[in-house]
Chain A
Amino acid sequence: MDFFQVLQIIIPSMIFLAAPLIFTALGGVYSERSGVVNIGLEGLMVIGAFSSVVFNLTFADTFGALTPWLSLLVAIAAGVIFSILHAVASITFKADHTVSGVALNFLAVGLSLFLVKIMYDKGETDRVAEGFHKVDIPLLKDIPVIGPLFFTDAYYTSYVAIAVAVLAWYVLFNTPFGLRLRSVGEHPMAADTMGINVTKMRYIGVLISGGFGGFGGAVFALTVTGYFGHTTISGQGFMALAAMIFGKWHPIGALGAALFFGFAQSLSIVGSGLPFFKEIPNVYLLIAPYVLTILALTGFIGRADAPKASGLHYEKGKR
């Protein structure tokens, strides 16, 4: 197997594995940039996965091939609604952000499984009829070198993920809205003095993160597993959280980090079939993603500073 063939295996599966993480990590960025720690990303993914699968199962006959896309929208809505809980608890009632986020995680798993049990009278849903399938992008797939690597055997959602990451970066760093959002996360008092409604901005940050979390969960459910059960989302939310920190609370950084995680995971899976990795015992390949992550976090990215007011409550007039 030559090198190009190896890349042809690794790169599509890297992008495929990274897509759900990208969305969710972006959610984390928006929430934390506004000053609210959101450890509930995992729970938001669960809600997204659950609602998208249920919608898909229920309306597959009505909407046909359009169903998976509509399911994604439903998942975003569900994520936004669910994240209101976090926003109310941590912003209005000034509860500890971490505690509220953990509560979100527990609630999401319990609630969604309970509902599955009630609706379908079993522990997990059936397989969705209309999921996302692999596609070759017409025209682009014929570009030499790049075509086979990036535009064959891909999912549309992966491109959406990358496009959305760039959009998220633009909004956060090049619009007045983004500046306001960042300012309430860095120095809410100064922002308040300038007439920015801190509470409102933080609510918006959390709700956006809810939408992204739901989206990420839905993408995972519809591209990878195809059904919803208690093992569907297991730890991806926390990986997204890590990707966000790894990416220094920056949308493009988060995108890169998620792709890096995908790459490491893909390498560990594909590795044993490759000529120069064949001699390495399987166990080292399996731990490679985690070792690479630790190395990258400690060695290469330097200081990772959270937004200054992240996790702190803002009380008017308090010094």
Chain B
Amino acid sequence: MNISAILHSKVFTKFTICAFFLTLGAFPVKVFSQEAKAEKFDAGKTAMEHIADKHEWHLFGEKVVVPLPIILYTDKGFEFFLSGSFNPEGAVYKGKYYNYSLVHDRVKVVDQAGKVDDAATKKVWDFSITQNIAGMWLSGLVLIFVFLSASSGYKKRGGKAPKGLQSFVEPIILFIRDDVARPNIGLKYERFMPLLLTVFFFILINNFFGMIPFFPGGYNLTGNIAVTFTLAFIIFLVINLNANKYYWKHIFSPNPWWLFPIMIPVEIVGIFSKPIALMIRLFANMLAGHIVIISLISLIFIFNTLWIAPVSVVFAVFIDVIEVLVVFLQAYVFTILSALFIGMAVEEHHEPHTEVI
């Protein structure tokens, strides 16, 4: 085999791409390790900082960041400025009404000397476009693009074979319809398809963007309890607003009357525990994945030697691959459990069980 054949072989191309990304991955470590020498490395603190929401978006490494707008509602009016005003770290920004500074990625009101004024901080509402919100908008734009191009495909080539992005989303949509919605909800599944598809793709794409360590990703949206709470709250509303009389009868009139005092509280807890379980499951799964990966990378800095790096990189890649599975699985599990709970609420009782194909 001569050299040009090797250069043009598929294996070589794949190898080069892999090598490129591996070297890319080495850079942040280098920047990181120089800082680690200055102060003692705290793995727990690093992990917590890594998973928390931030006011700036790191492109790669520690130095290249995108400043994000900060919107504050104070008792005197709105304030708008960019988070770049807080650079270098700990700098005080002079606003129209107060002076501000970032303390642990939270905007605090400070006096001239930089001391935090807690009483004034309580009066300020932070509506900033943080990293999570910017990331959510970005993923929303991606979703809009993907689905508009898919739907225009159906308009243009109605009844013909799908093409491009259309053929990427079509099997997934069919999967949600045939394997998630129809068996679990039953005959009325069509009303809930838009909700289930939105929830599935929203969770899926944000999980995926969370897996990318640099710019388009790097945020941790589905590992944020506020986001998963909102998703679960929507599901809670949908379940209870669509519930039929059999659902409520099941809750408020258990069969033997003397079970009332036990069963009614249990069933009422059951109404709330279903969406709470959805919320905690997604949140804790994504959070745990991020923490495990950052902890494995942190091993290098805990032992403070480069020789541990191969071990921790191999383990991190291994966990990363499992995480890709978890990303799909959690989006799927959230959707299928939502469908199951909605199906429990809308299902008609006492009629011959019809098997839906």
A and B bind:
no
Q: Which residues of A contact B (CB under 8 A)?
A: none
Q: Which residues of B contact A (CB under 8 A)?
A: none
